[in-house]
A and B are shown apart, each in its own frame.
Chain A
């Protein structure tokens, strides 16, 4: 593990450092000209020049519609026009005020939605943050709906998202570090962790990889994910994604690092373990037995979803003697007159289902139901009636489809493996499937997520850490945090 972290992290993001900054001039006119020059052909920027009661000239500049105009008029324009105080900081009715001295800061400030205030004869300007909140309301995320637990979901604003997290963890140890990535987009990215729990090595590695990103734009955490993930061509996700603040809270409390990004409700958590894909936030909210049952159900879903079509093809074309006689007669009867071999039939149905799934996702909701009717009729009824596919295979495909949605993070992964195993089962029978399982296992255990073995705590295994894997033990018995994630401070209960 040491080798991975051998490079010392660079503290500064070198990509954002352009030419040396230009200081503001004393003359207001020059400043205005320079700002206008930099922001030329931007018709949405307002330049409001005024003269205060002390006959000083000044400028307020902001993006039209980005700031709250009521607040601007009441708390900034009114005092500026009616009162005199050489110290403008004590004059204005806002606390979100910061002083700047360079032209670049001034321009970026405007672009970020602040109000720029420059007075004549002064080389220090002010940025007033009275931004209007342009965002949708906090809703329950569609992709992670729950029965029990918080219904809040992240929104597209990183500030709001961090507030949602702060609401849950009221600790000074909750650390938030922001940086800007993307030469053009200047996207705000926040690295969030809990000091004292987080593994410093992982944190260093996250910073190192974030600083290495060299791109002009970051529009979604998916960009970041692809830049910082461990293996580019892996079918497995090695970075966790969630839209729920309580999930992020749970994960960083176990020692993980969360990466927020402005403009998306999806938050990344690293490192990701294999077993995490089988866990949901609800597992910890419901009672132990129910949670453990659901865990096992998901494991079953994982096995069914990856192996069922492959096993069906393998058994029905190579190992008929393994099928109970009565079932074999049924399958043989159903397959009578079907023109395609079982392998082609299974692949065809698998692809048909993926088509349906994809078109169902992309279609506007109003037409979506049409697809499901057509799909159900064409695949379920007509194809079987016409003798193009056999009924057992439709059942196999349907069972697989149902099972594949039980583990959302793995849906895509399982699709790839399912096709692989169907193919192997079709050309080599159970031998192929066994070999496939062997190779997939070898590959899986070789993966690492930010230096942490992907399959921990199963391999490298330790009995004590299995309390939160296939079974979810009572919370009171999970006295320690997963040691593979949390550096030194592993005690969950009792003293420090």
Chain B
């Protein structure tokens, strides 16, 4: 068999091949242990300068020899004229180059958020290290840096604590877990206004030992495009999640027939359907929420084995949810005048032609629209007990 290339040509080919392959991008060799593994980044503004506070993880040695650091993280704070400048200035006082890819939480202070956050997120989207999958939170009633260094949980590393907290939150549905790309998606969409999760520092109601602060993850920050305009509290957030169909779990507390007694319904599954019909050129918005639940707690002594009692219970739960939902809709329409639910997207899908005329002033149209709320609660189980705990004996 005749060789296609001589040995010399073959070597030249291989060398050129590798050189060409390498010339297509930047190659930057660095060892893992020389990286500053960023966990949380918090952005504040002071005197027109950006102040960046970063939690850098101190990698713990896996094996014997070294002992685990007492605090497995360091807090670095730097300032600069721009966000990127501030981040890079960390090299002036910190012994590792900050590695942005490991960042998991992005916290922005309330004051900064009110000025607009798109310009801050620009770096994260433009730079190859920053990740759009970071969770993003707004720090309420505090500087963003204040959230750092608090770990009220099992994990020593605050970034891990916050990440787990965000994930655990789906059990109450009183917050929204938003990543940067979620925000960007809503930011660029017509017909929905962005909402973000909120973190705040809470003092323990009853002081325990020295550590009294915890991070409370509850509520939502409401944005008009990239500028924050206000907050929703925990229950309002859940109502928002109900409308958007994002409720995973949670407890619906309904007043029972007896005074000062409550029944708790645990949400197993919740669905929502948003619909719209256009009548006389103005949209009629409609949302149907279906909740599958389980009786989780019964403080009264009603006979829940009675079907009528259960129907009554379902009805009162429906009313509770409906009231909460109507409440948040009213707040969005009257107080903020912003469609944070995404009704605009539904209109866009269903009436693309009319939408073109409506979209420029959609938030105004939304605020004036009539929104019908329909809630259906279905309690399918009563837990391990068939009767209330307080049943009178012999009854």
A423 to B350 CA separation, bound complex (whole angstroms): 58
Near B by CB (< 8 A), chain A positions 209-246 give none
Please determine whether B102 and A328 come into contact, CB atoms closer than 8 angstroms. yes
Q: A333-B61, A336-B66, A337-B66 are in contact. Are A318 and B29 (CB under 8 A)?
A: yes
Complex CA–CA separation, A494 to B29 (angstroms): 62
Rounded to whole angstroms, the CA-CA distance of A331 and B24 in the bound complex is: 29
Contact A335 B18 (CB under 8 A): no
Query: How far, in whole Å, are A331 and B32 apart by their CA atoms in the complex?
Result: 7
Q: How far is the CA of A391 from the CA of B22 in the complex (A)?
A: 31
Interface: B284 (CB within 8 A): no
Contacts of B18 in A (CB 8 A): 428, 432, 435
Shortest CB distance A491–B (Å): 31
Q: Mark B18-36, 1 if CB is under 8 A from A, else 0.
A: 1001101101111111010
Residues of A within 8 A of B59 (CB): 329-334, 336
| Contact of B1 with A316 in the complex, beta carbons under 8 Å | no
* Residue in A317, A384, A431, A435 whose beta carbon sits within 8 Å of that of B31 in the complex: A317
Known: A384-B63, A429-B27. A329 touches B1 (CB 8 A): no
Please state if B32 and A320 are interface contacts (CB–CB under 8 Å).
yes
Within 8 A of B (CB), among A288-325: 316-318, 320-321, 325
In the complex, chain B residues whose CB is within 8 Å of the CB of A331: 32, 59
User: Does residue A354 face the partner (Cβ distance < 8 Å to B)?
Assistant: no
Closest to A451 in B: B1
- Is B12 an interface residue when CB atoms closer than 8 A count as contact? no
- CB closest chain-A residue, reference B57: A329
Confirm or deny: A366 has a beta carbon within 8 angstroms of a beta carbon on chain B: no
A432–B63 alpha-carbon span in the complex (Å): 32
Residues of B within 8 A of A325 (CB): 37, 102, 104
Which residue of chain B has the shortest Cβ distance to A428 in the bound complex? B22
For A432, the chain B residues whose CB sits under 8 A away are 18, 21-22
Contacting residues, chain A, for B27 (C-beta < 8 A): 318, 428-429, 431
Of B30, B63, B64, B129, most A-chain CB atoms within 10 Å: B63
The complex places the Cα of A76 from the Cα of B14 at a distance, in Å, of 71
**Chain B residues, Cβ within 8 Å of A330:** 59, 62
A371 on the interface (CB 8 Å rule)?
no
With contact pairs A333-B62, A341-B31 given, residues A431 and B37 touching in the complex (Cβ less than 8 Å): no
From the candidates B32, B65, B104, B129, name the one contacting A332 in the complex (CB within 8 A). B32
Chain B residues whose C-beta falls within 8 Å of the C-beta of A334 in the assembled complex: 59, 61-63
Query: What separation, in Å, do the CA atoms of A29 and B60 have in the docked complex?
Result: 93
B101 within 8 A of A: yes
Interface 1/0 per residue, B64-89 and A, CB below 8 Å: 11100000000000000000000000
Would B25 and A342 count as touching, CB distance under 8 A? no
B181 contacts partner chain A, Cβ-Cβ < 8 Å: no
Cβ < 8 Å to A, chain B residues 118-176: 129, 131
Residues of chain A within 8 A of B101, CB atoms compared: 320-321
A487 to B32, CA, bound (A): 56
Contact A439 B17 (CB under 8 A): yes
* A431-B21 in contact given A317-B32, A385-B63 (Cβ < 8 Å): yes
| Interface presence of A338 (CB below 8 A) | yes
Query: A426: nearest residue on chain B (CB-CB)?
Result: B29
The residue of chain B having its C-beta at the shortest distance from the C-beta of A387 within the complex is: B65
Of all chain B residues, the one with the shortest Cβ separation from A322 is B101
Least distance between B7 CB and chain A CB atoms (Å): 10
Judge if A3 is at the interface, Cβ distance under 8 Å.
Answer: yes
B99 within 8 A of A: yes
User: How far is it, in angstroms, between the C-alpha of A91 and the C-alpha of B131 when the chains are bound?
Assistant: 97
Given A320-B99, A431-B25, A439-B17, does the pair A332, B35 have CB atoms closer than 8 Å? yes
Q: Knowing A325-B102, A385-B63 are in contact, say whether A320-B35 is a contact too (CB < 8 A).
A: yes
Most buried by B among A3, A325, A431: A325
How many chain-B residues does the 8 Å CB contact rule pick out?
32
Complexed CA–CA distance, A320 and B1 (Å): 45
CA distance A330 to B102 in the complex (A): 13
Residues of A within 8 A of B33 (CB): 332, 335-338
Cβ of A3 and Cβ of B62 under 8 Å apart?
no
Q: How far is the CB of B369 from chain A (nearest CB, A)?
A: 44
Question: Which partner residue on chain A sits nearest B29 by CB separation?
Answer: A317
A-side contacts of B63, CB under 8 Å: 334, 384-385, 391
B62 and A391 within 8 A (CB):
yes
Which B residues are in CB contact (< 8 Å) with A337? Answer: 33, 66
Q: How far is the CB of A400 from chain B (nearest CB, A)?
A: 19
User: Contacts of B29 on A, CB cut-off 8 Å?
Assistant: 317-318, 429
Given the known inter-chain contacts A4-B1, A431-B21, A435-B18, please indicate yes or no for A318 contacting B61, CB distance below 8 A. no
A387 to B32, CA, bound (A): 15
The answer to whether A385 and B66 touch across the interface, beta carbons within 8 angstroms, is: no
CA distance A341 to B34 in the complex (A): 11
Interface residue? A251 (CB, 8 A): no
Closest partner residue, chain A, to B24 (CB atom): A431
Q: A207 an interface residue at 8 Å Cβ cutoff?
A: no
> Counting CB contacts under 8 A, is A448 at the interface?
yes
In angstroms, Cα B17 to Cα A432, docked, is 10
How far is the CB of B151 from the nearest CB of chain A, in Å? Answer: 16
**How distant is the Cα of A331 from the Cα of B61 in the complex, in angstroms?**
9
Chain B residue nearest to A432 (CB atoms) is B18
Task: Report whether A435 and B21 are in contact in the complex, using a CB–CB cutoff of 8 Å.
Answer: yes
A333-355 residues at the B interface, CB under 8 angstroms? 333-338, 341-342
Cβ–Cβ contact A328 & B32, under 8 A: yes
Complex CA distance for A420 and B28, rounded to whole angstroms: 20
- Whether the Cβ atoms of A439 and B14 lie closer than 8 Å is yes
Task: Give the CA-CA distance A391 to B101 in the complex, in Å.
Answer: 23
B67 to chain A, nearest CB (A): 12
Docked Cα-Cα span, A342 to B37, in Å, equals 18
Report the minimum CB–CB distance from B156 to chain A (whole Å). 12
When chains A and B are docked, how far (Å) is the Cα of A429 from the Cα of B31? 12
**Which A residues lie within 8 Å of B14 (CB)?**
439
Please indicate the chain A residues that have their CB under 8 angstroms from the CB of B64 in the complex.
Answer: 385
Cβ distance B22 to chain A, nearest Cβ, rounded Å: 6
Instruction: Please give, as numbers and ranges, the residues of chain B lying within 8 Å of A318 by CB-CB distance.
Output: 27-29
Q: Are B61 and A336 in contact (CB under 8 A)?
A: yes
Q: Are A431 and B60 closer than 8 Å at their CB atoms? A: no
Complex Cα distance, B276 from A321, in Å, reads 44
Task: Give, as a whole number of angstroms, the nearest-CB distance from B292 to chain A.
Answer: 34
Chain B residues within 8 Å of A335, by CB: 31-33
Known: A325-B102, A429-B27, A439-B17. A316 touches B62 (CB 8 A): no
The complex places the Cα of A385 from the Cα of B64 at a distance, in Å, of 7
Near A by CB (< 8 A), chain B positions 326-358 give none
Q: Check if B37 sits within 8 Å of A328, measured CB to CB.
A: yes
Tell me, in angstroms, the Cα distance from A384 to B59 when the chains sit together: 16
Give the distance in Å from the alpha carbon of A385 to the alpha carbon of B1 in the complex.
55
Chain B residue contacts of A342, Cβ below 8 A: 31-32
- Given the complex of chains A and B, what is the CA–CA distance between A384 and B32 in angstroms? 17
How many whole Å from B246's CB to the nearest CB in chain A? 25
Interface string of B94-115 (1 = CB under 8 A from A): 0000010110100000000000
Query: How far, in angstroms, from A325 to B35 measured CA to CA in the complex?
Result: 12
Residues of A within 8 A of B131 (CB): 321
**B281 vs chain A, min Cβ distance (A):** 51
A321-B101, A385-B65 known; A431 vs B32 contact (CB < 8 Å)? no
Contacts of A336 in B (CB 8 A): 33, 59, 61, 66
Q: Nearest chain A CB to B36's CB is how many angstroms away? A: 10
The answer to whether A316 and B32 have CB atoms under 8 Å apart is yes
Taking Cβ atoms with an 8 Å cutoff, the residues of A that contact B are 3-4, 316-318, 320-321, 325, 328-338, 341-342, 384-385, 387, 391-392, 428-429, 431-432, 434-435, 439, 448
A-B CB contact pairs (8 Å), 22 listed: A3-B1, A316-B31, A318-B27, A318-B28, A320-B30, A320-B101, A321-B131, A325-B37, A328-B37, A328-B102, A329-B102, A333-B60, A333-B62, A334-B63, A337-B66, A341-B31, A428-B27, A429-B29, A432-B21, A434-B21, A435-B17, A448-B1
6 more A-B contacts (CB under 8 A) besides A320-B99, A391-B63, A435-B17?
Answer: A4-B1, A321-B129, A328-B102, A329-B102, A385-B65, A434-B21
